[in-house]
Amino acid sequence: MRLDSLPGSVLDHKYRIDQQLGRGATGAVFQATHIGTMRTVALKVIVPKLAAQAEFSQRFKREAEAAGRLRHPNVVNMTDFGVTHVENDDLAYMVMEYLDGQTLSAHLKSDPRPSLNFILDVVDQAALALDAAHQAGTWKGEEMAEIPPNRIDLPQGMLDLLILKTVALGVHHGCATS
């Protein structure tokens, strides 16, 4: 099964796959629509050959469970996890809130010298997200020395009142990123 064939299909009778947002060595992230609520979500899947490996599949499930326990205004909300059968393959997926904005990386390309207040807001909110993840037991400092700017999202229209979202703290090992 090829992941690029997923757009246009319905996954697990719940999610219509709309478009691919990003791809990594281990999987892909798609924009999808939850059919029951018509809510736009981000849906992360791993490649079927990795889903077939018990160790990798269990790690993906543990990461989804850890992320599902983490609730904080500065961390992406994980809402669902599942394994479904698509074209003779098992396909593991995670569903999280869809962030319609830009990454900090993209913002810094358009504004390479942001204000001191902007920098302080980003550092403060990233630290709050890391603290929440640490308190929940989903992140330990030795696992990741930094949150790269492409893992920090600045929601559209929120730059005056900056509320950033860090993407999938505790769900960073071996998973596709957008």
Parse the chain into domains and list their residue ranges: 3-97, 101-166
Q: What is the mean pLDDT of residues 71-75?
A: 88
Q: What percent of the chain has pLDDT over 90?
A: 35
**Predicted local distance difference test score (pLDDT) of residue 141:** 59
Q: What is the C-alpha to C-alpha distance for residues 44 and 58, in angstroms, rounded to an integer? A: 15
| Residue at token pair 């308190």 | 135
**CATH class label, 3-97:** alpha beta
Binning pLDDT at 50, 70 and 90, where does residue 96 land?
A: very high
Give the pLDDT confidence of 110-134 residue by residue, as tens digits: 999 999 999 998 889 888 888 888 8
89 against 14, higher pLDDT: 14
Q: What is the mean pLDDT of residues 75-102?
A: 89
Q: What is the pTM of this model?
A: 0.82
The DSSP string of 82-150 is EEEEETTEEEEEEEEE---EEEHHHHHHH-SS--HHHHHHHHHHHHHHHHHHHHTTS--GGG-S---GG
End-to-end CA, the chain: 20
Give the pLDDT confidence of 7-51 residue by residue, as tens digits: 999 999 999 999 999 898 888 999 999 999 999 999 999 888 888
Least confident of 18-32, 51-65, 134-148: 134-148
